Structure 1
């Protein structure tokens, strides 16, 4: 006789297994004879199916099968497969005493005698209806999401994708599931992305990915496109997963760039630099000055000075509604930048209320010359040019006289 493991025969081990599974509460244990008829019926099996033990013992387990499965002889084929190949796990529909169907996760294990022949079977059922319903709902929500959804495991490999992800990236599901998420990231960003996703997995929380950064996706055909990504951790029975909602922002990015170009053009039009005379520029300022506009104003003026070799620049502020400390500082910086290029600045359009406001605020414009009207400022500009020309001529005569000695 073959030695017994732990001093127990196979039948005793089966009874122990049944007792342990009964204790779990959600597994129905059914012992079958070699012909597939019920030998033992657990309390959980009774609760799950509605059949009492006396109603099923001695009957074939096919009484729990659907009519279609009985006509197809599915139970007999499963028992034959287990006799040949050993334990099997699968899902299938079962029928309660009331006629209600339920989806069940099934484990079917052969029981063998000392000579190795199959003396019976143990079938363990777990009602998977609710989990299947929840999974179906999850998949339904995933498919109906407006964004491309990619579910990633803790090993950074793709677990699920929806239709939108297939359409966005050009991959089929079977081409993505099981691959690392970096397959959707352009090669130039992959090393950096590995660090980002490892950091997220170490401290998962709902947040946008790469806030403040430009993110790019990679299609199957190799084209790149800008994306916006939101990450959310998911706790599941299989462990922690990460849901990534991915949105193509190509159109939005192009719109933003177009609007920025339009704003730049408007700023340039609102602060034109006009050459009104040889070596004299006029910069009419209209509206409120902010930091961005003041920077562009200064840049435009300096570029025009360099092009025209202007010696006088008139800043006309008659179109500026109010002068505060910030506006005055912007103007002063513009004047100082022009002075470094050898250009004299004159401010025109200073109204009485503007002058009073500047005095009240204690704004010191240095030695900046100013006039009430643009006409007065032009006359002053011509005088400055004449003065400079006279000074230059005198310097030339002095230099020539010195060389004649």
Structure 2
């Protein structure tokens, strides 16, 4: 090939190079049309995509690729006129291959103008997007059918997509959310902290719950807050990594949990009642298996009752306890020690033989805790302790009155 002076190729050579470049494009079909939509140039990629050869299409109207309904409606003429008036156009539409199979095409139509600005033809580029459209449709269908509110967020933390459940949960329309930062759904008092959380997830995107161990809250359009549970997962797309957030309102579950906790506390209080059986004498009948939680509640209840009644003796009746372990025994010992610091003597009664054997086998030392076989014996000892204390106080009072040394 010879190159004219100045280094530029002759027009036929440039045209051949351009045609070779167009034929090299495999995922886009490139077609040159005349001013009325007749095919002037039919690329190899167009042949591969539609099944029509170049001899079959050159000189024919490109409407041969349209469905019968679209041809009847004059769709090709409308598309050409729109491109002629507005310039380059992009749109999607159904097209038909040679064998009658339909495919969804993404189409760009660009007018070609001559020296005086008149349209001399068009360049039409189309791509088969049937599979991607089907996948997108499936994705949107799954998104809409998800039981939870779904919010898809881009790497810039702006909302890309939401489903119907998200609209219902937060009270926003889709158009109000798309394009806004995700923090629009976060209460103002948590927003600064949330920015750090989402930056951390984007730095290491993987499927995981958000804010494990933390109480999370969402905010509705009207400003009301509600507790939520959020699961995050990355979505790899051609546009980059997106983040899918599945958001669930857990208000009802939290209320149920709180109600169960209150009921448990009430049951624990009923199962470990502190009874005032005599003036300055308390009895704590313990029934059932003791665990750490019950032992803690026992201590709290007993010490609170001692403070209220100014009790001097507390009887811990163990006749309803089938067994005891080291941890619970140590907790009971601490209860006794705490009562002693408040000036109260503790007496244990009703220890079963198997419980006593377990305590000895485990090497549990209850210190100088007084113990009696039955509750009746414990009550007699309690009265004796009160009498002894009363006598000591009376003797001290007499000594103070007479000026004697104690």
TM-score range for the pair, normalised by the shorter chain length: over 0.9
Residues 215/318 of structure 1: CA separation in 2 closer, same or farther (3 Å cut)? same
Structure 2 match to 1:28: 29
Structure 2 match to 1:214: 215
Structure 1 match to 2:177: 176
Structure 2 match to 1:265: 266
Deviation at 1:115, TM superposition (A): 4.5
Deviation at 1:16, TM superposition (A): 4.8
Gap runs ≥5 in structure 1: none
Contact 1:10/1:112 (8 A) holds in 2: no
Q: Which piece of structure 1 moves more, 348-357 or 53-62? A: 348-357
Structure 1 match to 2:361: 360
Residues 328/34 of structure 1: CA separation in 2 closer, same or farther (3 Å cut)? same
Which residues of 2 match residues 3-402 of structure 1 at below 5 A?
7=8, 16=17, 18-402=19-403
Residues 328/122 of structure 1: CA separation in 2 closer, same or farther (3 Å cut)? same
Deviation at 1:6, TM superposition (A): 8.8
Contact 2:318/2:352 (8 A) holds in 1: no
Gap runs ≥5 in structure 2: 1-5
* Counterpart-to-counterpart distance in 2, 1:165 and 1:73: 41
Residues 18/361 of structure 1: CA separation in 2 closer, same or farther (3 Å cut)? same
Residues 403/349 of structure 1: CA separation in 2 closer, same or farther (3 Å cut)? closer
Contact 2:290/2:324 (8 A) holds in 1: no
Secondary structure, counterpart of 1:307 in structure 2: helix
Residues 287/11 of structure 1: CA separation in 2 closer, same or farther (3 Å cut)? farther
* Counterpart-to-counterpart distance in 1, 2:95 and 2:179: 32
Residues 208/320 of structure 1: CA separation in 2 closer, same or farther (3 Å cut)? same
* Counterpart-to-counterpart distance in 1, 2:86 and 2:14: 21
TM-score, reference length from structure 2: 0.93
Contact 1:87/1:108 (8 A) holds in 2: yes
* Counterpart-to-counterpart distance in 2, 1:137 and 1:280: 74
* Counterpart-to-counterpart distance in 2, 1:15 and 1:85: 30
Q: Deviations over 1:30-80 (max 9, x none)?
A: 111233211111111111111111111011212112233323333233223
Q: Which piece of structure 1 moves more, 50-59 or 113-122? A: 113-122
Q: Deviations over 1:158-206 (max 9, x none)?
A: 1111111111111111111111111111111111111111111111000
* Counterpart-to-counterpart distance in 2, 1:277 and 1:156: 68
Alignment RMSD (CA, Å): 2.1
Secondary structure, counterpart of 1:346 in structure 2: strand
* Counterpart-to-counterpart distance in 2, 1:341 and 1:380: 19
* Counterpart-to-counterpart distance in 1, 2:93 and 2:169: 35
* Counterpart-to-counterpart distance in 2, 1:357 and 1:194: 56
Secondary structure, counterpart of 2:70 in structure 1: helix
Deviation at 1:217, TM superposition (A): 1.3
Deviation at 1:118, TM superposition (A): 3.2
Secondary structure, counterpart of 2:403 in structure 1: helix
Deviation at 1:114, TM superposition (A): 4.3
Residues 118/29 of structure 1: CA separation in 2 closer, same or farther (3 Å cut)? same
Deviation at 1:82, TM superposition (A): 2.6
Deviation at 1:243, TM superposition (A): 0.8
Deviation at 1:356, TM superposition (A): 3.1
Deviation at 1:384, TM superposition (A): 0.7
Contact 2:93/2:106 (8 A) holds in 1: yes
Contact 1:18/1:29 (8 A) holds in 2: no
Aligned length: 400
